[in-house]
Amino acid sequence: MEWWQVQELMMTSAAIIAVLVPVCALTYRFVLKPSRKEQPRLRGDPDHSPETLRDARLDNMERQLEGLEASVQRLVDVTEFDRQLKAGKPPEGGP
């Protein structure tokens, strides 16, 4: 094989790879990746169903809301105690 044939072969291979790599990347991005995300749902996997995810998010939000309510109640108690101290009254429920 002559040197110019090797050179042509290398240039052709480089051109093919330059086109093939982006085509493969786009194929993965737009075809394979979304289908991989949908496989658990299509198989009926209960751990990844939309209802399970929604319920988990709602449970998390309920825990956060309960924590916020407890914090607000503590702030109300502290404010009431501070108001009573400034007014000169003894705190309620104390000895």
Question: Residue 75 corresponds to which amino acid?
Answer: L
Q: Are 41 and 55 in a shared domain?
A: no
Domain count, the chain: 2
Q: Classify residue 14: in a domain, yes or no.
A: yes
Asked if 55 and 27 sit in the same domain, the reply is no
The answer to the question of residue 95 being in a domain is no
Q: Which domain holds residue 3?
A: 1-45
- Are the C-beta atoms of residues 26 and 34 closer than 8 Å to each other? no
Residues 34 and 57 in one domain: no
Cβ-contact 21, 12 below 8 angstroms: no
Q: What is the pLDDT of residue 56?
A: 87
- Are residue 54 and residue 14 in the same domain, yes or no? no
Q: Is the pTM of this model over 0.75?
A: no
- The candidate with the shortest Cα–Cα distance to 41, out of 33, 32, 50, 31, is 50
Query: Quick one: 27 and 60 in the same domain?
Result: no
Interacting residues of 90 by C-beta distance below 8 A, sequence separation 6+: 84
One digit per residue, the tens of pLDDT, for the chain of length 95 reads 788 888 999 999 999 999 999 998 888 888 888 777 777 767 766 666 677 788 889 999 999 999 999 999 999 999 999 998 888 866 666 55
Residues 56 and 38 in one domain: no
